[in-house]
């Protein structure tokens, strides 16, 4: 029998707290975002029952269908909803209404579209700016440009800037991964906020050592993704 998402969540929580202790940080000071793209609502529900309190999705239509199914269940448990996919400005309205937090703001136009949609929906959307710290990554802004974008976001009444998100480089060189995360941490220190969202299934230890406050974990929680879902 493969381990359930709830079992994997508890194991990961314990491993994270061990890593935190070994670098002198408080247990629980890194939050787990369960990344559930291409995973079933049942798998998400299992993880949430096991203690997961924040879920990340990359695709608007897929997220909408799953959140509706989960919220409609008689045994529904609350969890925070994070959008981590690329922002198309024509989807801003759907993103602003479906999600509590948007981690993938990578340009002013995306921020402006979300701001306008959030204001129309009468809510304040928490956002992170997405940095590009990896040559292979298509999206995210240059860390040097992030401060200016952060300032612009701070002036937008529909948005609340809460920090920085970045995707680590795809490499076996653990030092290179750590240094890229340090770049994200330095930019986070300048921009401010409470959330430094760095670290995924394959590189969360480096991220924790660089100061992550949120790791985004897909396969290590839910197993391999189901193609085509
Ligand atoms: C898919 C995805 C993750 C999770 O990746 P895993 O390697 O499965 O943990 C994290 N962050 C983003 C932005 C993603 O698209």
Q: Domain residue spans in the chain?
A: 5-222
- Cα of 103 from ligand 1 centre, angstroms: 12
**Ligand 1 atom at minimum distance from 104 CA:** 13
**Ligand 1 atom at minimum distance from 58 CA:** 15
Q: For residue 228, name the pLDDT band (cuts at 50, 70, 90).
A: low
- Cα of 216 from ligand 1 centre, angstroms: 6
Q: For residue 74, name the pLDDT band (cuts at 50, 70, 90).
A: confident
Please give all residues whose beta carbon lies within 6 A of any atom in ligand 1, as ranges: 35, 37, 58, 84, 167, 200-202, 216-220
CA 194, CA 46: separation in Å to the nearest integer?
28
- Cα of 146 from ligand 1 centre, angstroms: 22
Mean pLDDT over 63-68 rounds to: 96
Predicted structure pTM score? 0.97
- Is the pLDDT at 149 greater than 80? The verdict is yes
Tell me the average pLDDT of the chain: 96
The pLDDT tens digits of the residues spanning 161-215 come to 999 999 999 999 999 999 999 999 999 999 999 999 999 999 999 999 999 999 9
Residue of minimum CA distance from atom 11 in ligand 1: 216
CA 120, CA 203: separation in Å to the nearest integer?
38
* Cα Rg of the chain, angstroms: 17
Q: What pLDDT is attached to residue 229?
A: 55
Contacts of residue 186, Cβ cutoff 8 Å, sequence gap at least 6: 143
CA 139, CA 154: separation in Å to the nearest integer?
21
The answer as to CATH 3.20.20.10 being correct for domain 5-222 is: yes
Mean pLDDT over 84-110 rounds to: 98
User: Which of 8, 56, 101, 129 has most ligand 1 atoms within 8 Å of CB, for mutation?
Assistant: 56
Using CB atoms within 10 Å of the CB of residue 138, give its burial: 0 to 12 exposed, 13 to 18 middle, 19+ buried.
Answer: exposed
Using CB atoms within 10 Å of the CB of residue 55, give its burial: 0 to 12 exposed, 13 to 18 middle, 19+ buried.
Answer: buried
């Amino acid at each position: 029998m493969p381990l359930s998402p709830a079992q994997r969540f508890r194991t990961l929580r314990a491993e994270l707290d061990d890593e935190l202790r070994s670098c002198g940080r408080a247990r629980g000071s890194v939050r787990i975002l369960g990344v559930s793209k291409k995973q079933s609502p049942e798998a998400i529900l299992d993880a949430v029952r096991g203690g997961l309190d924040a879920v990340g999705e990359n695709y608007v239509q897929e997220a909408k269908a799953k959140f509706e199914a989960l919220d409609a269940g008689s045994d529904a448990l609350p969890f925070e909803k994070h959008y981590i996919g690329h922002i198309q400005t024509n989807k801003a309205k759907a993103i602003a209404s479906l999600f509590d937090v948007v981690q993938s703001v990578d340009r002013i136009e995306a921020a402006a579209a979300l701001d306008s949609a959030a204001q129309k929906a009468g809510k304040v959307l928490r956002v992170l700016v997405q940095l590009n710290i990896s040559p292979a990554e298509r999206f995210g802004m240059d860390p040097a440009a992030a401060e200016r974008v952060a300032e612009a976001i701070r002036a937008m009444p529909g948005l609340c800037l809460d920090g920085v998100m970045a995707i680590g480089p795809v490499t076996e060189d653990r030092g290179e991964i750590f240094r890229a995360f340090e770049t994200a941490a330095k930019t986070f220190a300048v921009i401010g906020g409470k959330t430094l969202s760095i670290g995924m299934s394959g590189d969360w230890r480096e991220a924790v050592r660089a100061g992550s406050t949120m790791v985004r974990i897909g396969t290590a929680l839910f197993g391999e993704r189901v193609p085509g879902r």
